């Protein structure tokens, strides 16, 4: 028994910007991204190697979350193409039509939902698979039991792979992002700290609090250490705030979900799915499902 947790917002954006042909509903709406997500999820559900038994898909809807109140520069919905923004509700309906649990996140983010579910049910399944390439989710990886899956590159990352890629253990990823920043989320980081330097320091100390103020006390050699240490000393509170922004919560509300049993995938509900496809003119998709709900 596996638990598949899908970053729906990532899937939606990936489908929107993919080279797949455009798709227009009979009423003229652009539904390319929605159709792409449905196609992608059907491929996942049909994948014998993935062997999906329990699955949920989380979406940011809206993009803004409680983190925007903590830091004005945090990512918002500015720049979201209107044709994509118009599909935020539609894609949730599309995923539900596949018989898959949908978590529509309001105050928290999709990543928080995935982190919460991973923490809550890891002990009840053979493996939790986090389907997203987002480095934020690397903090949730635990050994080979909770892993991160990049479907596009066909890579599975356990704790050792995360450390090899980012230079730090999963539990230090929020600290890493606090120092080096994360452009995708609007986290500026601290001046001078690049990925390699930040990782080197955190390899030695693990978390921000353990890093000495003076570079003379550092047990690791890092280029420009004196300047980096001075920057951290002067902006340690900023770094703590950035770490808070990068830290996923593990107590987010999961709409419609009381237990792991609520995430069991029993097949595509035929009438609902076909009616949805008919409404959007997705005739080819109607024939795709290989397993219908009883």
67-93 residue pLDDT tens: 999 999 999 999 899 999 999 999 999
Question: Taking 90 as the threshold, does the pLDDT of residue 158 lie above it?
Answer: yes
pLDDT confidence bin for 294, thresholds 50/70/90? confident
| Nearest by Cα to 59 from 30, 95, 23 | 95
- Domain shared by 141 and 24, yes or no: yes
pLDDT reported for residue 38: 98
Q: What is the CATH number of the domain that holds 71?
A: 3.40.50.1010
pLDDT band for position 17 (cuts 50, 70, 90)? very high
Residue 267 covered by a domain: yes
- The span from the CA of 13 to the CA of 63, in Å, is 12
Tell me the pLDDT of the chain averaged across its residues. Answer: 97
Residue 290 lies in a domain: no
155-157 β-sheet, strand order: 101-105, 54-60, 2-7, 127-131, 146-150, 155-157
Question: pLDDT by residue (tens digit) across 202-247?
Answer: 999 999 999 999 999 999 999 999 999 999 999 999 999 999 999 9
pTM of the model: 0.96
Tokens of 259: 């237990």
Q: Indicate whether 32 belongs to any domain.
A: yes
Is beta strand 127-131 parallel, antiparallel or unpaired with respect to 146-150? Answer: parallel
Q: How far is 262 from 85, CA to CA, in rounded Å?
A: 28
Is residue 289 a part of any domain in this protein?
no
pLDDT at 147 over 90: yes
pLDDT (tens digit per residue) in 40-68 = 999 999 999 999 999 999 999 999 999 99
- Tell whether 116 and 227 lie within a shared domain: no
Task: Give the model's pLDDT for residue 222.
Answer: 95
Distance (Å, whole) CA 61 – CA 95? 14
Could you tell me if 71 and 158 lie in one domain?
Answer: yes
Q: Please report how the helices 173-180 and 159-166 are oriented relative to each other, as an axis angle in degrees rounded to 10.
A: 20
Residue 287 lies inside a defined structural domain of this protein: no
224 lies in the same domain as 257: no
Q: What is the pLDDT of residues 95-134, one digit of tens each?
A: 999 999 999 999 999 999 999 999 999 999 999 999 999 9
294 in any annotated domain: no
Contact 113, 103 (CB under 8 A): yes
Domain that holds residue 104: 2-164+249-280
**Can you give the CATH number for the domain in which 180 is found?**
1.10.150.20
Return the pLDDT at 241: 98
Residues 216 and 206 in one domain: yes
Same domain, 95 and 220: no
pLDDT recorded at residue 260:
98
Residues 7 and 135 in one domain: yes
70 belongs to a structural domain = yes
Q: What is the mean pLDDT of residues 17-40?
A: 97
Is 241 found in the same domain as 273? no
**Domain count across the chain:** 2
Q: Are residues 256 and 148 in the same domain?
A: yes
266 with 208, same domain: the answer is no
Q: How far is CA 263 from CA 49, 81, 193, 281, in A?
A: 19, 31, 41, 28
Mean pLDDT value of segment 278-293: 96
- Based on the fold, state whether residues 234 and 273 are members of the same structural domain: no
What pLDDT was estimated at residue 223?
A: 95
In a domain, 285, yes or no: no
Does residue 268 sit in the same domain as residue 214?
Answer: no
């Amino acid at each position: 028994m596996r638990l598949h947790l899908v970053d729906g917002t990532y899937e939606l954006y990936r489908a929107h910007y993919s080279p797949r042909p455009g798709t227009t509903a009979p009423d003229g709406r652009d539904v390319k991204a929605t159709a792409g997500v449905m196609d992608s999820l059907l491929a996942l559900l049909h994948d014998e190697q993935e062997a999906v038994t329990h699955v949920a898909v989380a979406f940011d809807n809206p993009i803004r979350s409680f983190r925007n109140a903590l830091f004005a520069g945090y990512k918002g919905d500015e720049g979201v193409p209107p044709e994509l923004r118009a599909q935020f509700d539609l894609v949730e309906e599309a995923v539900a039509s596949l018989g898959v649990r949908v978590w529509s996140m309001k105050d928290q983010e999709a990543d928080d939902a995935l982190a919460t579910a991973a923490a809550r049910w890891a002990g009840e399944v053979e493996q939790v698979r986090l389907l997203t390439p987002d480095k934020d989710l690397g903090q949730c990886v635990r050994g080979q039991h909770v892993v991160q899956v990049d479907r596009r590159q066909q890579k599975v990352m356990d704790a050792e792979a995360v450390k090899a890629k980012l230079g730090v253990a999963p539990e230090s990823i929020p600290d890493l992002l606090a120092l080096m920043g994360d452009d995708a989320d609007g986290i500026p980081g601290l001046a001078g700290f690049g990925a390699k330097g930040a990782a080197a320091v955190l390899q030695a100390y693990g978390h921000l609090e353990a890093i000495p103020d003076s570079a003379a006390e550092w047990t690791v050699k890092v280029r420009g250490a004196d300047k980096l240490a001075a920057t951290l000393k002067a902006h340690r509170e900023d770094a703590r705030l950035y770490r808070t922004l990068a830290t996923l919560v593990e107590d987010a509300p999961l709409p419609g979900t009381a237990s792991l049993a609520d995430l069991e995938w029993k097949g595509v509900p035929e009438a609902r799915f076909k009616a949805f496809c008919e409404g959007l003119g997705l005739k080819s998709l109607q024939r795709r499902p290989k397993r219908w709900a009883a």
